[in-house]
Chain A
Amino acid sequence: MKTRWEFVLLPSFVIIGILIVASQYVFLNGSFYKDMGLGRIGDSATMVNYIRFFTDSFYLNTLWITIKTSALASIFTLILGFPVAYLIARMRSHWSMLLLAGIVVATFVTIVIKVFGLIILFSADGLINQVLMGIGIVDRPYTIIGNQTGVVVGLMHFTLGFGVLLLYSVIQTIPRSLEEAAQIHGASRWRMHMRVLLPLSLPGVTVGALMIFNMSMGAFTSAALLGGGRVFTLPVLIQRTVMMEVKYSMAGTLAAVLLVTVLLINLLAIFLIRRLRAARLVIA
């Protein structure tokens, strides 16, 4: 009795396939027309939006800020996340479940609520400024609203929980016995990390880092609320172009640039990993 599973797949494939192709085609196609104001667009295809993007320093700067903040957020997420993931993955007691629960809740609570908490924490008379001014480190209230630091911190709150979960599953695939073997043979903790854990986890970590980077590139909420109308990343600019300027074609162009940038960076990263693997710099 054989079930033809490929037919089971078909309806889902058609639904998702149509949604992908239709939605992507519409805005990509729209990006080649000129905005005539009030949401109307011109009737002949032109590159005018793309030319504007790549000649206007404001747009180019926005693209650069988007890439920069996303990259910084990804790096810091890895630095903060890896030790935690390692701790939970290697814990033998039931406390690991509690620690894990903390991470999962932080992942599931919507980023708007977390940003809300951050704003309260960093407000002029908030806890952090009270402490900082109390011990005299700063004499003016320090703020993260409206600057790039804030955007990076916001992005990290968006990605950190997810990043820890990703890294946790990567570390779980590395047998504990390998680390024990290294230590029995007299390797120090540091040496064990550098020579055993790091090379073994590197492929998984790179994939995870790429996913975190992708998430950050598309993240709208933290950048919009913590950027405070002063720091623009591409997602924020896309929303403003649609909602305030009602320029659908220009927004389509911005979205297309964002999409292609993300794809290119991913392809580049995969290519680099392949090269490193071929050169035996990365195992597995």
Chain B
Amino acid sequence: MAIDKSKQTLSHSSMDMVTRLAARRPVGPPPKRGLPWGKYFHYFFCSLSYIFLLSPMIVVIGASLHGGEYYTAIKFPPDEPSLQWYWKIPKGQLEALGLSFGLAGLTALGACIIGIPAALGIVRGKIPGKTLISAVFRAPLQIPAIVTGIAFLQLYYLFGDATGLYFQGTFLGLYIGHLFVATPYVVGTVTAILQRFDTRLEEASFSLGASKLSTFRRVTLPVIMPGVYAGALYAFMVSFGDVPISIFLTAPGFVTYPIELFYGMENDFDPSILASASLVIFFCLLVLLGMQKLVGLDTLLRSGSR
């Protein structure tokens, strides 16, 4: 078995070498006459996609820089550049942001605590019906988000009627709902990494006299860490941006940032929303940069592709 594996990697690396050598020599596709219109069209089309995708965020940031009076303050492109709205973000929005940060952080943590053992069990456990078990862990993503929201609301009502403990509109209630949809991401990313894990590393650690616990801490955990980071990031972002679940489980005076924004837009635009939204966009960029430094974006995506 072991020999087989090494052979495979050998042939693979020699294949790599061949392609690399081939790439160095000008073999490639034969040169064509005329301009590569197909290629230009492809670039043009992609830039349209990017404009479509990024324009709303650019508009929000741009409009947040516009000064002016309260009722004329939403304008893009801005003509009176000013940072005034950044100083006028009301307390309600800041509180909502704080709640969202705390909730998302704890959700990421909780998702890891539930998700990592689950992934270990799915990949390594000797259990019948593994497909079914991993389907159960993936189920929260298949259930439409709005259905999850109303399902938890009704569950809390029923539970409250039976025990006198009402969870709706409490931090714990909101937290359980978010944990429910965030956990599958961690399970997914860690499973993806574990499936490529070389168990001989652990065997080596055992044969050198390490205990189970220290093998896990010093060998297994560092290897699966990129998957954990990626999963935790997904979990954080899912919780941080969620509307369909939070809208049922929050209460007046106790709202997450997206819900505060949602109600703010349904009623009356307060220009300071633009400023706080821009701050959130910058925060997402910052997280991304951190992630790129920590594990690299492609690792993030390769392990998160489910």
Contact = CB atoms under 8 A, between A and B. Distances in A.
Contacts of A137: none
Nearest to B52: A80
Given A108-B288, A259-B143, A101 B297 contact: yes
Interface in B39-57: 39, 42-43, 45-46, 48-50, 52-57
Contact of B57 (A12, A114, A220, A262): A114
A160 B144 contact: no
A168 B301 contact: yes
B154 interface: yes
Interface in A43-69: none
Contact of B146 (A10, A115, A235, A243): A235
Given A84-B50, A255-B150, A11 B301 contact: no
Nearest to B281: A109
B30 A97 contact: no
Contacts of A8: 117, 120-121, 125
Contacts of A83: 42, 45-46, 49
Contacts of A105: 57, 281, 284-285, 288
B180 to A, nearest CB: 5
Contacts of B143: 24, 218, 259
Contacts of B121: 5-10, 12-13
A106 B42 contact: no
Contacts of A13: 118, 121, 133, 136-137
Contacts of B154: 23, 26-27, 30, 248, 252
B60 to A, nearest CB: 4
A26 B288 contact: no
Contacts of A234: 146
A189 B257 CA distance: 47
Interface residues of B, number: 98
A9 B277 CA distance: 39
A5 B46 contact: no
B154 to A, nearest CB: 5
A111 interface: yes
Contact of A258 (B58, B144, B288, B305): B144
Interface centre among B19, B151, B292 (most CB of A within 10 A): B151
A220 B261 contact: no
B302 interface: yes
B125 A113 contact: no
Contacts of A87: 42-43, 46
A100 B53 CA distance: 12
B53 A27 contact: no
B57 to A, nearest CB: 6
Interface in A146-201: 156-157, 160-161, 165-166, 168-170, 172, 177, 180, 183-184, 186, 189-190
Given A189-B36, A235-B146, 9 more contacts: A6-B126, A9-B122, A12-B137, A19-B176, A27-B151, A103-B53, A113-B277, A119-B265, A255-B144
Interface of B: 19, 27-30, 36, 38-39, 42-43, 45-46, 48-50, 52-60, 63, 74, 76-77, 114-115, 117-118, 120-127, 133, 136-137, 139-155, 157-158, 176, 180, 183, 206, 212, 237, 240-244, 247-248, 257-258, 261-262, 265-266, 273-274, 277, 280-281, 284-285, 287-288, 292, 297-298, 300-302, 304-305
A20 interface: yes
A42 interface: no
Contacts of B19: 177
Given A15-B114, A114-B56, A127 B77 contact: yes
Contacts of A166: 305
Nearest to A263: B142
A97 B289 CA distance: 11
Contacts of B118: 9, 12-13, 16
B288 A16 contact: no
Nearest to A160: B53
Q: Which 6 A-B pairs have the closest CB atoms?
A: A9-B121, A117-B56, A218-B144, A110-B241, A169-B305, A183-B29
